[in-house]
C-alpha cells in the first residue's frame, strides 16, 4: 500500500465510498426512506477522490501564502516606523 503522496490511498477512498453507498442502500431498504437521484453518487464519488488527491499537491502553496500573509504586516509596520 502506497503513501498519500504517490496516490496509493486512492483505492482506499474508492473502497470507503463503495461501502458508504452500500450502507446507504441498506438504510434505504431497512427504513423505507427513498433517495431520489441516487445515481448522482456515481459522479460525486470520483469527484471527491480527485479533489482529495489534488489537495495534497496544493496545500503547501496555502501554507506559504499564509506565512507571507502573517509576515507582511510586520515588515510593513517596521518600515513605516523607520
Would residue 1 count as lying in a domain? no
**Cβ neighbours of 24 (radius 10 Å):** 14
Would residue 2 count as lying in a domain? no
Would residue 4 count as lying in a domain? no
Task: Choose among 59, 62, 60, 41: nearest CA to 51.
Answer: 59
Query: 73 falls in which pLDDT band (50, 70, 90)?
Result: confident
Would residue 22 count as lying in a domain? yes
Question: Mean per-residue pLDDT for 49-71?
Answer: 84
- Whether residue 48 is predicted with pLDDT greater than 60 in this model: the reply is yes
Would residue 54 count as lying in a domain? yes
Would residue 19 count as lying in a domain? yes
State the residue range of the domain holding 70.
10-81
How far CA 63 is from CA of 57, 66, 71, 80, 82, in Å, comes to: 12, 5, 12, 27, 30
**Which cell numbers in the block locate residue 19?**
461501502
Would residue 14 count as lying in a domain? yes
Would residue 5 count as lying in a domain? no
- Whether residue 4 is predicted with pLDDT greater than 70 in this model: the reply is no
How many domains does the chain contain in total? Answer: 1
> Which H helix or E strand runs over 18?
helix 10-31
Amino acid at each position: 500500500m502506497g503513501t498519500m503522496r504517490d496516490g496509493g490511498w486512492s483505492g482506499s477512498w474508492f473502497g470507503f465510498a463503495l461501502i458508504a453507498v452500500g450502507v446507504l442502500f441498506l438504510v434505504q431498504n431497512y427504513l423505507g426512506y427513498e433517495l431520489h437521484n441516487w445515481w448522482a453518487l456515481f459522479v460525486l464519488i470520483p469527484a471527491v477522490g480527485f479533489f482529495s488527491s489534488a489537495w495534497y499537491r496544493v496545500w503547501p502553496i496555502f501554507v506559504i501564502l499564509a506565512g507571507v500573509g502573517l509576515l507582511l504586516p510586520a515588515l510593513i509596520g517596521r518600515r513605516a516606523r523607520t
